[in-house]
């Protein structure tokens, strides 16, 4: 297998997000702008869930880390007048990552359902913190009137530039996700599949889990910044504990097995909810139903199922001629390393 085909899903995910930079130039419908902006935020947040699922960890803490990133950017903009979008994007990654480091060291000893439960509580606790610190976060009113960000000194004030920034943030998040999940592919796969065996072979499992958790928190923070920048407001309702279900739904329904999954899942589901926006309150029920369908009938999600169908189709077409060579020598891998 060549290096390139091994990372085809990562490359495809980055390429799709890259192509979406064209959207602001082919339409100027406000509806399309707001939908695609929400999609960009959703994709970024779904990458956070994706990284955690690579280690077989389910997290409900995405909105908590989104809030840390979003509020950090809003406070920097409103209170310190910092509006450079590169700086704010980096800040929105670093702030939640710093918060996640000690939390991860503490919480990643927990397994399975206990970890899931604690991540849900984290989001609840953070909501409470926001409400209880009005001087810093604006409390229940939130922080309103976020100034327009800039890139190379140019102001990004209109809808088009705000959308371009959201896509840029999603693009950066995709590259971070691809680098981390690609570089730590063996470690993550081993932790996902058989943690005990990995430990017995010498892998320091908790260290890689902490790395994954910290990066996932950073990605969520970037999504938070993107959302705050779109709404020009950092408000507690944007980071509700219930919204964590959406990000999990995007990833699982799209397909947790490859990086294309969260991109496809977030795009389709956000687009669908926008189309049916008059019934937006039903979207979480719809997501719940779809998750059940995926869990019961199509574990690979949309991307996994399509890929499996495609493999079956191509195998039937060329089954006689394309039999893979079975014999290989161990040396090949030695070179690959």
Question: Which residues are near another protein by CB under 8 A?
Answer: 186-187, 189-190, 193-194, 196-205, 324, 326-331, 333-334, 337
State the minimum distance, in angstroms, from the CB of residue 158 to another protein. Answer: 48
| Residue 2 or 29 with smaller CB distance to another protein | 2
Find out whether 19 and 170 touch, Cβ atoms under 8 Å. no
CB of 280 vs another protein, minimal distance in Å: 38
Query: Distance between CA 258 and CA 56 in Å, rounded?
Result: 13
In the bound state with another protein, the residue whose beta carbon lies nearer, of 153 and 202, is 202
Are the C-beta atoms of residues 109 and 206 closer than 8 Å to each other?
A: yes
Give me the DSSP letters along 168-192: HHHHHHHHHHHHHHHHTHHHHHHHH
Nearer to another protein by C-beta: 106 or 121? 106
CB of 153 to another protein, least distance (A): 46
| Smallest distance, another protein to C-beta of residue 145, A | 51
> What secondary structure letter does DSSP report for 23?
H
* Beta carbon nearer to another protein, 113 or 335: 335
Residue 107 C-beta: closest distance to another protein, Å: 18
- What is the smallest separation between the CB atom of 104 and another protein, expressed in angstroms? 17
Look at the alpha carbons of 272, 276, 277, 280 in this order and tell me if their dihedral is positive or negative.
negative
Question: Does an H or E element contain 138, and which?
Answer: none
Q: Are 155 and 162 in contact (CB under 8 A)?
A: no
- Please name the helix (run of DSSP H) or strand (run of DSSP E) that holds residue 144, with its range, or none: strand 143-144
Closest approach, Cβ 178 to another protein, in A, equals 20
Q: Which residues contact 160 (CB under 8 A, 6 or more apart)?
A: 24, 28, 33
**Cβ of 14: how many Cβ atoms within 10 Å?**
20
Q: CA 150, CA 187: separation in Å to the nearest integer?
A: 39
**Environment class of 286 (CB within 10 Å of its CB; exposed 0-12, middle 13-18, buried 19+):** middle
Please give the Cα distance from 136 to 71 (Å, whole number). 9
Q: Quick check: helix, strand or coil at residue 19?
A: helix
Cβ nearer to another protein, comparing 186 with 279: 186
CB nearer to another protein: give 203 or 286: 203
Nearer to another protein, 26 or 333 (CB): 333
Closest CB 200 distance from another protein, rounded Å: 6
Nearest by Cα to 179 from 56, 14, 49: 14
d(CA 270, CA 256): 17
Please identify, using beta-carbon distances, which residue of 133 and 314 lies nearer to another protein: 314
């Amino acid at each position: 297998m060549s290096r390139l085909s091994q990372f085809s899903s990562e490359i495809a995910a980055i390429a799709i997000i890259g192509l979406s930079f064209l959207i602001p130039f082919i339409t100027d419908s406000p509806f399309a702008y707001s939908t695609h902006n929400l999609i960009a935020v959703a994709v970024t947040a779904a990458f956070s869930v994706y990284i955690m699922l690579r280690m077989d960890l389910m997290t409900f803490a995405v909105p908590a880390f989104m809030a840390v990133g979003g509020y950090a950017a809003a406070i920097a903009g409103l209170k310190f007048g910092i509006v450079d979008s590169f700086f704010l994007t980096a800040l929105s990654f670093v702030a939640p990552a710093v918060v996640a480091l000690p939390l991860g060291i503490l919480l990643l000893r927990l397994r399975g359902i206990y970890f899931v439960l604690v991540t849900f509580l984290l989001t609840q606790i953070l909501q409470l913190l926001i409400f209880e610190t009005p001087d810093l976060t604006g409390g229940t009113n939130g922080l309103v009137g976020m100034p327009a960000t800039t890139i190379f000194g140019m102001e990004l004030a209109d809808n088009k530039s705000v959308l371009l920034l959201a896509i840029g943030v999603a693009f950066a998040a995709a590259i971070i996700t691809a680098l981390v999940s690609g570089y730590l592919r063996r470690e993550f796969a081993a932790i996902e599949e058989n943690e005990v065996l990995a430990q017995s072979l010498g892998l320091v499992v908790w260290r890689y889990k902490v790395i994954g958790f910290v990066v996932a928190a950073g990605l969520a923070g970037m999504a938070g910044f993107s959302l705050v920048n779109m709404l020009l407001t950092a408000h507690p309702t944007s980071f509700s504990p219930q919204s964590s279900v959406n990000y999990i739904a995007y990833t699982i329904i799209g397909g947790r097995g490859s990086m294309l999954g969260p991109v496809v899942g977030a795009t389709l589901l956000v687009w669908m909810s926008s189309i049916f926006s008059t019934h937006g309150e039903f979207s979480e029920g719809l997501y719940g139903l779809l998750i059940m369908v995926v869990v019961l009938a199509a574990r690979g999600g949309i991307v996994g199922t399509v890929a499996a169908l495609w493999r079956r189709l191509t195998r039937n077409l060329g089954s006689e001629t394309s039999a893979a060579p079975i014999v290989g020598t161990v040396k090949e891998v030695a070179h690959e390393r």
